[in-house]
A = this chain, B = another copy of it.
Amino acid sequence: MELLENRILKDGVVLPGSIVKVGGFLNHQIDVRLLLEMGKEVSRLFSGDGVTKLLTVEASGIAIATAFGAVMDVPVLFAKKHGTSNLSGDMLCARTHSYTHNTEYNMIVEKQYLKPCDRVLIVDDFLANGAALNSLIDIVNQAGASLAGCAIAIEKGFQGGGDRLREKGIRVESLALIDSIDGGNIRFRR
């Protein structure tokens, strides 16, 4: 998606460890107008697929999923990263590893909010090695729901997580797919 790619080139900052900092518009300060345009593209890509729920994980996925949900008129469900006093009842849980923070955590979703009749589109801001997506897919499978696919803002293609999911037959649509970062220069896949 050219609008997002141009914004990454304009306002993204490459940090050591191939981290692309997009806090100016995507996951700290949020350009809601941009997110709604991204939502229109995702809505177009998955139109006719009968999506009933968007699933993401706190915290930075929530803004994107909410904007997509506004465009698609679909409710959002976000996995929590640890148990809180406000969670109760049966839980769906998957262990995952954060590449950014180098920590392990549990993703938790209340079972009552994800049903076998749901058609789920997973949404996230970043896809790198795929650890978070694999855990969200695990949760969808535990619920017995069906998976429409994954809609990602920025995929770091050189970390391989997206292509491994595609090889398994899972539909992964990334609005910006970065193939390489050399000396701070970002190159997108065509």
Contact = CB atoms under 8 A, between A and B. Distances in A.
Interface of A: 13, 15, 17, 19, 21, 23-24, 27-33, 35-36, 58-59, 62-63, 65-67, 69-70, 73-78, 80, 84-88, 100-101, 109-110, 112-113
A69 B85 CA distance: 29
B76 A30 contact: yes
5 contacts: A13-B88, A28-B109, A30-B65, A30-B69, A66-B66
Nearest to A84: B101
Contacts of A76: 29-30, 32, 63
A17 B88 CA distance: 14
Contacts of A86: 15, 19, 21, 23, 27-28, 100
Nearest to A13: B88
Nearest to A16: B85
Given A23-B86, A23-B87, A70-B67, A31 B75 contact: yes
B30 A74 contact: no
Contacts of A84: 100-101
From A31, A63, A113, residue with most partner B Cβ within 10 Å: A63
A66 B32 contact: yes
A29 B54 CA distance: 9
* 6 closest residue pairs by CB, A with B: A32-B69, A58-B59, A59-B59, A30-B76, A62-B62, A66-B66
